[in-house]
Structure 1
């Protein structure tokens, strides 16, 4: 485990700091499965979920004769138990005694069907058999003869290997197999008894770049065929995929799913498991770390679908996945961006979550209506401190609200002034097919279209969570505005690793790396839009900025934090890519904020690199909740304090809630006022005692104010600062 935790540039750390980071790493990993997840050398894993328990059926590399099959079980994905030999070729078959590998297990008819590859003694070729048991662990009774041979495959493939069985929604079962020598994939239909073949002819449905080990999943009406490519015995081995609208093709090539990186090699022969009812998928695969296939081990990582339905490439991790016991609520998809602007579409219709007539009035009704692209159908979805979400209508600035904060089924849903109470808080769960369920906080009431109507103008209400399509919504990101002055978490694409300052240091020159999301300020950045349109990223609670060392324009130059000095080394262009991810480009260069070798390991260094469009340069920017009140900025000297902006107003333009951040340059009494265009006082916001270098945030609900331009005036010990506030409705 320790060798799987590389540290960025250890020569610059004291032994004490290395020990601290090591302990933190172990603490983070203790909450996950870790990788590898199974004891010993195992390969070709298939993971299945039966009756609240996960089972992995691998090839046992430690058994040189290949005659015995083990199984492993877990109730939470993190603690695995070897259940011993569940099938033994020498004792439980008559037609095969060795070279057993790559099992696949399916539950049907109250039975468990165990498909496997083995050497056919009669024909001296690989063949596929099937055995039947009453439990996931057997005992399994073999069918007595091979189910599939080269002859039963019309000799499309001589390597009758790597079976995978898929049962479609209509009940038809298919078996996919074949590869390696000749690299052809065959499909045949199974009868309902699951141990015999239909009269349909075998078909060659080989996709692009196929070698072996097919695996099929269905999501949202689309079939995803994943398979191994390359040579199984070296680091060319990898997983790719193709899609179709039919379980038998034709296939449209999709690209890479997982491949070797700088630390781990030969990932392949995998399976994909969906947690029932959720848009939550896991990929289990084998890999090795010493460049020899003889030490293959089983690993698990999350598999994520992009908004367009494509598969996001998997970064192999040393930490694996979090516990996932049976009955767990569906999590929020990692694709959801806090602070993103979304369209919510009712399942199977073109009807959007809409404020009636585009009203800006508190209490205006919320309905579904034909997608017309207006701001009345756009909602800013933002994570709150309690883990729930707030949805603010872009047109009005009002929050999605349950009337009277009621928990009663059928209560109307409306928009209302953002007041922070539970009537405006929603739990978001990613359900099957890429849809969401929105649950009203503290209740079992879901956001629901009355009578599951598809009609424009149908009312939106809350109703008891019953799992039907009336309570399913597709969330499509339409924009990713950056809130100047907002606090953000930056997460490397395809991992849980965040942009992090080593040991949460406030020292200038501290290196920046990635680290497991732990929620502390080392992973929080204040993003501020500057006058030239570029952004400054300031490490939370310090005045240290994200900076390229020496303002270098060289690929590979170190990224660090450094005292805010206003130069281009600390300026970044943030480019939204339209899929929920952004790239950060160093000002004056085409170099991107990049994770070294696209690794997912905690502690991997972050540098700048040539824009090459890969995932190492992709970041999800999540707007994080902040407590109202004081935030101390650790200014170093008077010159830095005087360089700080004493008054910041955001967002501007604003539609409703406005934030005023005051950072006094000296200690003393301050007053904060809002004036109209004629200089008349329209609101006295505060009289307070300001402390030098201590930022205080004041809030204003501007939703009932007239649209227009206002002047904000700050008076601190006789020194007056002004800025503009623009309100639009």
Structure 2
């Protein structure tokens, strides 16, 4: 089962939807005092900019126009990173169910895929997430369609355009009851490292499920093996942090201006409609024992002119 977006998540018009951050599969980059949000909505990718996480403005031009990409449809789940050693911003994303990377000199873009080919040319994949370890080794986490949606990892080559295929290692499958309420889907990976512990945050169930939810696993290596947290899921419609939101998932942690963590994710439009999905932001905390919790009342970002 692959995660094709609902039709209403990709409207043909490039309209501003006020009072919501109208993106799914969201990702936030904090750079030089500003927050940049990217996500799934249209062909290509928009970028929204904020200084306080509550009020956002959409950049006048697309961060990645379709003509700058290898693919032509199903632009999903962009994640943007600033790589200081290369003095460039890199956008990892999915298009036409293949994983790609583009780069730019500014977080607003325009991002360009200068080599018009997927990172893995001969296999479908979605939901890329980059992690660079303390020793400088880059790892790419993404979803392969291997008996459902399964999260894998591989070392990347230094060009950040290709993987070392011999290092491909399976990380997370949908094996627990809470992960298989609808579909056999583990997706939306993100990696954090604290001390010597690696955290892999992910989502499970089909995105159309009201029980789409977030959990995490830990390891002492970026390649695993991964041990799922016994208290999963940490975000779902029945958890206090969701505040009644439905279909909560496919988010990403990010560091704020004061050094604390937050988690951005999307939710369904209503109990009866999946789309248009919109994004929300909660606090992400670590306990003294190293357990992750998602807490607080969701911030509902507003897009202003």
Query: Where on the TM-score scale, by shorter chain, does this alignment land: which range?
Result: 0.7 to 0.9
| Structure with the higher fraction of residues in helix conformation | 1
How far is the alpha carbon of 1:289 from its aligned partner?
Answer: 4.6
Pairing of 1:640-651 with structure 2 (within 5 A): none
Does 2:218 align with 1:252?
no
Distance 1:249 1:277 in 2: 30
Candidates 222, 227, 231, aligned match of 2:197: 222
The gaps in structure 1 that reach 5 residues or longer are: 1-35, 120-125, 152-157, 322-729
Q: Match of 1:165?
A: 130
How far is the alpha carbon of 1:48 from its aligned partner?
Answer: 1.2
Q: Match of 2:53?
A: 77
Does 2:149 align with 1:178?
no
Q: What TM-score, normalized by structure 1, do the two folds share?
A: 0.35
Distance 1:285 1:147 in 2: 25
How far is the alpha carbon of 1:131 from its aligned partner?
Answer: 0.9
Distance 2:19 2:81 in 1: 21
Does 2:98 align with 1:127?
yes
DSSP-derived class of the 1:258 partner: coil
Q: Match of 1:306?
A: 287
DSSP-derived class of the 1:256 partner: coil
Distance 1:102 1:206 in 2: 18
How far is the alpha carbon of 1:312 from its aligned partner?
Answer: 1.9
Does 2:110 align with 1:145?
no
Alignment deviations for residues 621-658 of structure 1 (CA, whole Å, 9 cap, x no partner): xxxxxxxxxxxxxxxxxxxxxxxxxxxxxxxxxxxxxx
How far is the alpha carbon of 1:150 from its aligned partner?
Answer: 5.0
Asked whether the equivalents of residues 268 and 285 of structure 1 are also in contact (C-alpha less than 8 Å), the reply is yes
Distance 1:244 1:74 in 2: 34
Q: What TM-score, normalized by structure 2, do the two folds share?
A: 0.80
Pairing of 1:301-700 with structure 2 (within 5 A): 301-314=282-295, 317-319=297-299
How far is the alpha carbon of 1:92 from its aligned partner?
Answer: 1.4
Alignment deviations for residues 691-724 of structure 1 (CA, whole Å, 9 cap, x no partner): xxxxxxxxxxxxxxxxxxxxxxxxxxxxxxxxxx
How far is the alpha carbon of 1:235 from its aligned partner?
Answer: 0.6
How far is the alpha carbon of 1:76 from its aligned partner?
Answer: 2.1
Distance change in 2, residues 1:53/1:37 (3 Å): farther
Candidates 268, 271, 278, aligned match of 2:252: 271
Q: Match of 1:197?
A: 163
Distance change in 2, residues 1:221/1:137 (3 Å): same
Alignment deviations for residues 409-457 of structure 1 (CA, whole Å, 9 cap, x no partner): xxxxxxxxxxxxxxxxxxxxxxxxxxxxxxxxxxxxxxxxxxxxxxxxx
How far is the alpha carbon of 1:270 from its aligned partner?
Answer: 0.2
Alignment deviations for residues 72-101 of structure 1 (CA, whole Å, 9 cap, x no partner): 111222221111411122x213x3111111
Asked whether the equivalents of residues 212 and 227 of structure 1 are also in contact (C-alpha less than 8 Å), the reply is yes
Asked whether the equivalents of residues 179 and 213 of structure 1 are also in contact (C-alpha less than 8 Å), the reply is no
Pairing of 1:63-74 with structure 2 (within 5 A): 63=42, 67-74=43-50
Pairing of 1:288-303 with structure 2 (within 5 A): 288-291=268-271, 292-303=273-284
Distance change in 2, residues 1:319/1:163 (3 Å): closer
Q: Match of 1:118?
A: 95
Distance 1:263 1:75 in 2: 27
Candidates 9, 29, 45, aligned match of 1:48: 29
Does 2:261 align with 1:285?
no
Distance 2:248 2:237 in 1: 6
Distance change in 2, residues 1:313/1:74 (3 Å): closer
How far is the alpha carbon of 1:269 from its aligned partner?
Answer: 0.6
Distance change in 2, residues 1:150/1:238 (3 Å): farther
DSSP-derived class of the 1:191 partner: coil
Distance 1:318 1:218 in 2: 24
How far is the alpha carbon of 1:202 from its aligned partner?
Answer: 1.6
How far is the alpha carbon of 1:201 from its aligned partner?
Answer: 3.0
DSSP-derived class of the 2:275 partner: helix
How far is the alpha carbon of 1:259 from its aligned partner?
Answer: 0.3
Bigger radius of gyration: 1
Distance 1:319 1:51 in 2: 22
Alignment coverage as a number of residue pairs = 264
Q: Match of 2:209?
A: 234
Distance 1:184 1:150 in 2: 17
Question: RMSD value over aligned CA atoms?
Answer: 2.3
How far is the alpha carbon of 1:220 from its aligned partner?
Answer: 2.3
Asked whether the equivalents of residues 283 and 294 of structure 2 are also in contact (C-alpha less than 8 Å), the reply is no
Q: Match of 1:482?
A: none
